[in-house]
Structure 1
Amino acid sequence: MNGNHEEAELDLVVTRRTAEADSVISLELRDPNGADLPDWTPGAHLDLMLAPNLVRQYSLCSDPADRSMWRVAVLREPDSRGGSRRIHDELREESTVRVRGPRNHFTLAKAERYVFIAGGIGITPIVPMVAAAEAAGAEWTLGYGGRSRATMAFSGHLTAAYGERVALRPQDEYGILDLGTLLGAPDKDTLVYCCGPEPLLKAIDQHCAAWPTGALHVERFAPKEHNAPVLDKPFEVELAQTGVTVTVPPQKTILQAVEEAGVHVLSSCQEGTCGTCETPVLAGEVDHRDSLLTAGEQAAMDTMMICVSRAACPRLVLDL
């Protein structure tokens, strides 16, 4: 994982805008002076900084080997809070947009075989993953669901490039994705990567319950639901780098308390889905409430997302 740190911010130019499907456009972003862009790996995303208080995360879906440009694809959300609407309505070719990243909390681990499953715009991080699996000589299959063929971005490219290994399953033709058929039996040499809406992720969690620990990797669009916090009373957070100790009451996040104490922490989504505010934990027990860390990463208690996660003990020590 990344840990909290200052990341590169770049002003990039939209050099191509393409309609990829109904309500989905892709943007190619390049440095205005033609410079190479930073390296990234499949599963990485960018922050698009659309306005002072309007930052949204989008997965990179271009070729990591092509450092001349980055591509993101954006679904126009009918209940948009402003991000996708602004991108669709205002970002044109030759527009400039500030970006931060790339950042990767959905990395593709090495495996002999992969099962990729995507729902709707969740195909975006999967596109470069499939290409990487193919280049590595791994076995793989992709199950890709959407409301209809017209709404499924990159479907033509995927079927043309990979043929029958791609199972397109538009819901108006096939119903919901048949996870049992797509996944098959649990296999210790297979990793499962899934991105899509929460109902799909809940279903795949259930289907993969019998799979080896660590086999399933998911990326969420929205935060998971959580029970009440472990502690319903104030706790202390010591900031090891600055020597400051703050008290975090039940109604505030650690991020809010730390920033009120004058310590700046990079943050973005403030709902535990982007990973920007990830902070190393030096001591204490964490009540993890993010939607990013795996069960194993959470159990290690060595990092946390301070925008949502809390203490499960009277005092935490953070590397801030």
Structure 2
Amino acid sequence: MNAGNTFEVEVRGIRREAETVRSFELWPLGAESAESAESGEAYELPPFEPGAHLDVHVPGDLVRQYSLTNPHERHRYVIGVNRDPASRGGSIRMHDAVTVGSRLTVSAPRNHFPLNEAAVHSVLVAGGIGITPLLAMVRRLCELGRSWDLYYCARTESRAAFLRELRELADTCPDGALHCVFDGVPGTAPLDIRAVLAKHGAQADFYCCGPTPLMDAFTAALADVPPERVHLEYFKAPEISTPANSQAFTVTLARQQKSFVIEPDRSILHVLQEHGVAVMCSCREGVCGTCETAVLAGEPDHRDRVLSPEERAANRTMMICVSRCKGDALTLDI
């Protein structure tokens, strides 16, 4: 199986994990059981580390990203999907159109939200379905015998996915602790992230995945924490206005020997697609990493939520769905 390409998997299990959340077990085609999958290399899926996600081609010609919950298993992938009526339709189709036996096309895993396994202590903050990558991290931290605190925010207990397993992990891991905040329950206040920082801030690494209000509160509270200790995974890009310095620039595709002008109101991705250039993409908001493209010349104006400060400074790649150019021209490896 080539990890560099998309490939088909079969849905072998669907389970209700919470009021609006289901987990989906994705198995390699031809594997008859966990034992047969693990015993034959032909049935091994590409490996991944905690924090990784897949591109899933959802019925209806949609591509969506879902975090993986089961690190170090090679015979299956397990994802959690929240049925969100306010979404762009991917989660609804996963719930309503995908059944046991369905075949789905997926990508090899990608990880822009890695776990620092050497951290002195890990503090994880999850909001709703943002628990999925953090569940994988908790499983790995328990396996390593590392200390952790997980703050799990949900409206009610019935909407908190994977809660039974998380409680079992907290009970069996000597250095792990689960803190549930069900702020839809009368009398329960939202999580005080500044208090969390005051309690754990000396040497801990901090992780957050959840809806925009939680992410905004988290980043504001941790503004003075060294960036290498703050790790974020966004569902969608925060609403921001277009910077006043946006200007037209030229993009040259080195391998195709083509050049295009990118006007201030158009993205690189839009222009390339309008001219028939095939580019992998999904979120179009700079949060999934699907359209990451190598930069050969020029200085990108990075506007994504994927690359680290170090990766941005290196200017080796950019997300062409949202990022632009600080000068007059860019050359991309396309």
User: Please, what TM-score do these two structures have when normalized by structure 2?
Assistant: 0.88
2:112 is the counterpart of 1:105: yes
SS for the counterpart of 2:109 is strand
Partner of 2:19: 22
Q: Of 148, 152, 171, which residue of structure 2 is paired with 1:140?
A: 148
Task: Determine if the alignment matches structure 1 residue 191 to structure 2 residue 205.
Answer: yes
Q: Which runs of 5+ in 1 are unaligned?
A: 1-5
Q: Does 1:48 align with 2:62?
A: no
Q: Measure how far apart 1:140 and its partner are.
A: 1.1
Cα distance in 1, alignment partners of residues 212 and 17 from structure 2: 23
AA paired with 2:100? E
In structure 2, which of residues 194, 217, 225 is the aligned counterpart of residue 203 of structure 1?
217
**Greater mean alpha carbon deviation, residues 236-245 or residues 26-35:** 236-245
Gaps of 5+ in 2: 32-42
Identical-residue share of aligned pairs (%): 40
**Structure 1 residues 313 and 145: CA distance shift in structure 2, 3 A:** same
Superposed displacement of residue 201, structure 1: 0.6
Q: 2:328 aligns with which of 299, 314, 317?
A: 314
CA positional deviation for 1:288: 1.6
Residue 160 of structure 2 is matched in structure 1 by: 152
Q: What is residue 3 of structure 1 aligned with on the other side?
A: none
Match of 1:302 among 316, 324, 328: 316
SS in 2 for 1:236: strand
Q: 2:139 aligns to what?
A: 131
Distance 1:89 1:219 in 2: 26
Q: Determine the C-alpha separation between the residues in 1 that align with 2:55 and 2:62.
A: 10
In structure 2, the residue matched to 1:66 is 73
Distance 2:61 2:12 in 1: 25
Partners of 2:49 and 2:72 within 8 A in 1: no
Amino acid at match of 1:86: R
d(CA) in 2 for partners of 1:90 and 1:263?
31
8 A Cα contact 1:187 1:212, kept in partner:
no
Q: In the aligned structure 2, how far is the partner of 1:260 from the partner of 1:180?
A: 46
What CA distance in whole angstroms lies between the structure 2 residues aligned with 1:47 and 1:143?
27
Alpha-carbon distance between aligned partners in 1 of 2:164 and 2:277, rounded to the nearest angstrom: 48
Deviation at 1:231, TM superposition (A): 4.1
- Residue 121 of structure 1 deviates from its aligned partner by 0.4
1:32 is the counterpart of 2:32: no
- How far off its partner does 1:230 sit? 5.3
**Residue 216 of structure 1 is aligned with which of 230, 244, 257?**
230
Shift of 1:74: 0.6
CA distance in 2, matches of 1:75, 1:43: 17
Deviation at 1:184, TM superposition (A): 2.6
User: What does 1:151-300 correspond to in 2, within 5 Å?
Assistant: 151-163=159-171, 165-173=177-185, 174-184=188-198, 187=201, 189-229=203-243, 231-300=245-314
Residue equivalent to 1:77: 84
* Counterpart amino acid of residue 76 in structure 2: M
Higher relative contact order (CA 8 A, sep 6+): 1
Residue number in structure 2 paired with 1:10: 7
The answer to which of 262-271 and 98-107 deviates more is 262-271
Q: Distance in 2 between matches of 1:159 and 1:269?
A: 33
Displacement of 1:261: 4.5
> Which one is further off, 287-296 or 305-314?
287-296
Q: Structure 1, residues 85-112: CA drift from partner, whole Å, max 9, x if none?
A: 1111111111211112211111112312
Q: What's the counterpart of residue 35 of structure 2?
A: none
Call closer, same or farther: CA 1:239–1:210 in 2, change over 3 Å: same
Deviation, 1:12, is: 1.2
Look up the equivalent residue of 2:168 and give its one-letter code. Answer: A
* Number of corresponding residues: 314
- When the two chains are superposed, the root-mean-square deviation of aligned CA atoms in Å is 1.9
Q: Is the 8 A contact 2:59 2:94 kept in 1?
A: no
Aligned-partner SS, 1:165: strand
Give the conservation status (yes or no) of the 8 Å contact 1:155–1:168: no
Work out the CA distance in 2 between the residues paired with 1:133 and 1:230: 44
Amino acid at match of 1:89: D
Q: Is the 8 A contact 1:224 1:291 kept in 2?
A: no
CA deviation profile, 1:154-202 (whole Å, cap 9, x unmatched):
1111111213601111113432112133233574632111100010111
The one-letter amino acid of 2:132's match is: T
- Residue 226 of structure 1: SS of its match in structure 2? coil
Deviation at 1:263?
A: 3.5
Q: Tell me, what secondary structure is at the counterpart of 1:217?
A: strand
